[in-house]
Structure 1
Amino acid sequence: MKIKIVNGKIIAPDGIIENGTILINNGSILEVSRRDVEISEDTCVIDAEGKYISPGFIDIHVHGGGGYDFMDGTIEAFLKIAETHVQYGTTAMNPTTLTSEVDDLFNTLDNYREANKQNTKGSQFLGVHLEGPYFALSQRGAQDPRYIRNPDPKEYKKILDYSDDIVRWSAAPELTGAIEFGRYVKSKGKVLALAHTDAIYEEVLEGYNNGYSLATHFYSAMAGVTRRNAFRYAGAVEAGYLIDDMDVEAIADGIHLPPPLLKLIYKIKGPDRIALITDAMRGAGMPEGESILGNIHTGLKVIIEDGVAKLPDRTAFAGSVATADRLVRTMINQGEVPLVDVIKMITQTPARIMGVSDKKGSLEVGKDADIVLFDDNINIEMTIVKGDVKYRSSVKEDTLAI
């Protein structure tokens, strides 16, 4: 269907276009204009009613939502998670795994492949992100320690040979064999990230020089300044700041990263190096109360309260329940970041990191028509994925006319 979106504030790469018009045809952006555009009779007109017209949000690190987790072992889980997050403006995502046995991982990859064929109602899948199992046990967070281990060439080569759907892998660069692992992953054209790590600056720098170009959920499950035999060493956090070309993820829920840290990350790294992520578990989009992190049958029992998942004894966080709209809202209100920069951090920057900026991440002619309409409070009114309206909230039916 041909679509024309009118009467909105278009968030374009070079600023906001007031009362702009976007034309969509065959799932792609045909025109972005500062004026009204003549259309044929078979065009659907969407009146944005003065709301923002934004590129679709891209979540490159998400585990679940709507009561499901990608590790549940079902195709239904993938589809329901995609349908949940599309309601909050996410038009594309990288389904993310947890530490597990290899057979469970293969099952997840099989489910991804089939779900990707069936996914017609939710956020688009952009490939699988493997988080673990090559982590520092001391920085495991809520990851299951039974499956944490050092990189094994026979294992990771077998995994990468098993599926072409893997596009990213997160690991700790200081582990025995992690540099060789990094070189191999990079040689396969995958995005490599450091995560759940006790690495000091020198170890992170070596990792960066061998492919570790992204810091997974920055600050979370990584050390800052530390002492070893009375001497101080800069940690992974400082390395993320000092290595100018290293990208960082931010769980901008206001809890994993409180306002002062949101401000600091933005001040030092800037919008071109920050990707906002939900890192959401199954509790995203669900009421507070008891939940499960990971596989529904074998996962860790957690409690969702105060806008975050916690361990049952409340001694630590056990996952995020953020949605993409919350990230944007929090960065604006608590991080005090301009809207245009926040949108870049959840559209253009993650698109570049994942190598899809030729088709996604900005409202430009020829790119996929992944579009979100939202109001001044970042309440999502409509989500469009490749020209197809996947979600509609308070936008009245009479604003859509053929």
Structure 2
Amino acid sequence: MKSNLLIFNGKLIGREVIQENSYLYVKDGVICDIGIGKPTHVDEEILSIDATGLYISPGFIDMHVHGGGGHDFMDGTVEAFLGVAETHLRYGTTALCPTTLTSTMEALFRTLDAYKTAKEINTQGAQFIGVHLEGPYFALSQKGAQDPKYIRHPDPAEYERILAYSDDIVRWSAAPELPGAIAFGRYVKSKNKLLALAHTDAIYEEVQTAFDNGYTLATHFYSAMSGITRRNAYRYAGAIEAGYLIDGMDVEIIADGIHVPSPLLRLVFKIKGTDRIALITDAMRAAGMPEGESILGGKQEGTRVIVEDGVAKLMDRSAFAGSVATADRLVRTMMREGNVALLDSVQMMTSTPARIMGLDKKGHLAIGMDADIVLFDEDIRVMATIVAGKLKYKKED
């Protein structure tokens, strides 16, 4: 396989501008030249791609995804991990963070074991950037589609054991108002893991305390999260209001237009802005699949759900059960329903998640950066996906 790559005749999406008639040259998986026109100094064996006016974008980074293509990470198999990575690659995702659900310890460890093997042999899909533990330390009142029988308060013996078991865990989401949640947060941060609040009924004051102790991200903002509440006739700002008021709080949103509808997409962008918003799919196994019945979580322990109207729901339709979005849909929806410019929409799917996840070599196109690239048209239809300088997906004519 040719080790070097030239993409030319495209509209390159930079940090501040979109430059037409651009080229990008890759050597050994790293961007080594960017310019206008077509370079003449490239003389080694090379794969040359005429972008034919398509956008040349940084690869999409999905920092919260559960599954896709009929697979869920909680299946606990290498096959599932590889299947999810290959599915989301087709929609422009070049890096993703496999995410768990509340479960038994046995199921969690099985999933962590599968990740360890899959990351070593994953050559055809989006790159894995570490595991995200979602739960089990949640507020039952904000459980959403999480299985309530596994939800509990933080237990030092348990979470210390989990973090000792796997070096692949990079982030953990929990409800910060629970007994023991602040001590839990401090311990997670001491291990250099990203800490996020999620499935929470916290009020503003509790979130502020949590933020001061390391909870710097709001997981799927608006979803399974408290807003303004009343207690004994007094009003209290909730986790949503806290996310807005705390300037340093990052938020991730499921920008499918359903979990977060158009008016709220516009509101969160107006207040938080490009640099504090990461777009996430929160996709379950039905992403990239026909609508109908599916399973949220592992095939053995999971919950039956119905996929309809572009979203997964519990069978009684009482709550959403994860999204079926793909990264291209997030960018498209943010533009069309959030009234956000293409440049900002792409940055929320690339440079912002890269910064939040500490990925210094990913998230934008510049000399010295990893060559994770996606080509798409005006409708954000993905035509090609490149990971580490290798063409992994090309849409058939």
Shared fold by TM > 0.5?
Answer: yes
- Report the RMSD for the aligned CA atoms in angstroms: 0.7
Matches within 5 A, 1:350-365: 350-356=353-359, 358-365=360-367
> What is the aligned partner in structure 2 of residue 233 from structure 1?
236
Q: Which amino acid aligns with 2:327?
A: A
Q: Cα deviation per residue 1:368-397 (whole Å; 9 max; x = unaligned)?
A: 100000000000000000001111004x6x
Q: Establish whether residue 43 from structure 1 lines up as the match of residue 46 from structure 2.
A: yes
88-97 or 11-20, larger mean C-alpha shift: 11-20
Deviations along 1:79-121, one digit per CA (max 9) or x if unpaired, are 0000000000000000000001112111110000000011010
What is the SS of the residue equivalent to 1:280?
A: coil
Does residue 30 of the first structure (1) align with residue 32 of the second (2)? yes
Task: State the Cα distance separating 1:14 from its structure 2 match.
Answer: 2.2
Normalising to structure 1: TM-score of the pair? 0.97
1:182 Cα deviation (Å)?
0.4
Could you report, residue by residue, the CA deviation over 1:25-78 in whole angstroms, capped at 9, with x for unpaired residues? 001101111232121141211000000000000000000000000000211000
**Which residue of the partner structure matches residue 117 of structure 2?**
114
Distance in 1 (CA, whole Å) between partners of 2:143 and 2:294 is 19
In 1: Cα distance, 2:44 partner to 2:246 partner:
54
Give distance in 2, aligned partners of 1:17 and 1:261: 31
The one of 252, 257, 260 equivalent to 1:257 is 260
Are residues 1:373 and 2:375 paired?
Answer: yes
The letter of the residue matching 2:19 is I
Partner of 1:161: 164
Instruction: Say whether 1:133 aligns with 2:128.
Output: no
**Which has the higher mean CA deviation after the structures are superposed, 157-166 or 28-37?**
28-37
- Report what 1:183 is aligned to: 186
Question: 2:274 aligned with 1:267, yes or no?
Answer: no
* Cα separation, 1, equivalents of 2:340 and 2:4: 35
Residues in 2 aligned to 1:3 and 1:316: alpha-carbon distance in whole angstroms: 46
User: Does the 8 A contact of 2:279 with 2:348 survive in 1?
Assistant: yes
Deviations 1:299-325 (A, max 9, x none): 100000000001111122111000000
Tell me, what secondary structure is at the counterpart of 1:272?
Answer: helix
How do 1:206-221 and structure 2 match up within 5 A? 206-221=209-224
Whether 1:289 aligns to 2:267 is no
Which residue does 1:331 correspond to in 2? 334
Figure out how many residues of one structure are paired with residues of the other and give that number. Answer: 394
TM-score by length of 2: 0.98
Aligned to 2:10: 8
Where do 5+ consecutive residues of structure 1 fail to align?
Answer: 397-402
Cα distance between partner residues in 2 of 1:315 and 1:101: 24
Contiguous gaps of at least 5 residues in structure 2: none
Alignment of 1:393 onto 2:364: no
SS in 1 for 2:145: coil
Q: Which residue of 2 aligns with 1:400?
A: none
Matched-pair identity in %: 68
| TM-superposed deviation, 1:239 | 0.2
Are 1:75 and 2:78 an aligned pair?
yes
Secondary structure of the 2:247 match is coil
CA distance, structure 2, for counterparts of residue 376 and residue 217 of structure 1: 27
Name the amino acid aligned to 1:381: M
User: Mean Cα displacement is larger for which, 324-333 or 314-323?
Assistant: 314-323
Partner residue of 1:302 out of 305, 312, 321: 305
Q: Is the 8 A contact 2:16 2:343 kept in 1?
A: no
